[in-house]
Structure 1
């Protein structure tokens, strides 16, 4: 049961990070003004 809950959590988190990354790449600098935060999101998305 816990395995499925973790799977759903990581799926939702990964999807939302992917959406943020795609929006940022579509309009650079409009969503996240700081490149360091953007790089942290990309790295954490790769780990999740």
Structure 2
């Protein structure tokens, strides 16, 4: 059960990360603005 909950949590976290990255790309990089933070988020 613990693995199942962790799987759902990581799935939601990954989905929210991808949504934030898509918003960032659509805004032309003005939302985050820091390339180091952006480059650390993208490979994850």
Q: What is the TM-score with the length of structure 2 in the denominator?
A: 0.87
Report which structure shows greater RCO (CA 8 Å, sep ≥6): 1
Runs of 4+ in 1 over 2 A off after TM superposition: none
Give the CA RMSD over aligned residues.
0.8
Q: What is the TM-score with the length of structure 1 in the denominator?
A: 0.81
Can you give the 5+ residue segments of structure 1 that lack an aligned partner in the other structure? none
Would you tell me which structure has more helix in proportion to its own residues? 1
